[in-house]
Amino acid sequence: MFLPIRVLIIEDCEDDVALMLRELRRGGFEADYLQVDTAESMANALREESWDIVLSDYTLPCFSAPAALKVLKHAAVEIPFIVISGNVGEEIAVQLMQHGSNDYINKDNLTRLCPAIHRELKEFHNRKYAAVSETFTENLWEILNHAK
């Protein structure tokens, strides 16, 4: 049984998209995806649909992972963001993480992709649950304090 996942893929190479999709399927995911390669198409996709995760190449002819992180932040959408690239050194990978990327995966080591997605989705849902729980608790205390 495959786990459905909605993936926004920032990539200009069809072969790389096919590799990602094959790895997702191998890892137990059934991906509903959209491939974009510009800031405008990414912003539209974020505005028009909901996504579980963003997978992004580092450098595209007219776009980049750092620019995509800015689009994501500007859209005020909180979802995991993983950079998948073959030409990024360790220093740049660290910078990406400091600017909001959840992980970096080398295209030569895509076997890390599904474990990273599982981990990031779990952490994302845990953060959401904690935020909802905290809000609920605060509201409950406020109600109880006003009832006195």
Instruction: Map residue 61 onto helix, strand or coil.
Output: coil
Rounded distance, CA 58 to CA 42, Å?
A: 14
CATH of the domain at 53: 3.40.50.2300
β-pairing verdict for 63-64 and 59-60? antiparallel
What is the average per-residue pLDDT within 66-92? 91
* CA distances to 3, 82, 140 from 54, in Å: 16, 6, 35
pLDDT tens-place string over residues 41-78: 999 999 999 999 999 999 999 999 999 999 999 999 99
pTM for the full predicted model: 0.84
Rounded distance, CA 62 to CA 97, Å?
A: 22
Q: Which domain holds residue 135?
A: 3-147
What is the average per-residue pLDDT within 119-147? 74
| Number of domains making up the chain | 1
Which residues sit opposite 8 in a β-bridge? Answer: 34, 54
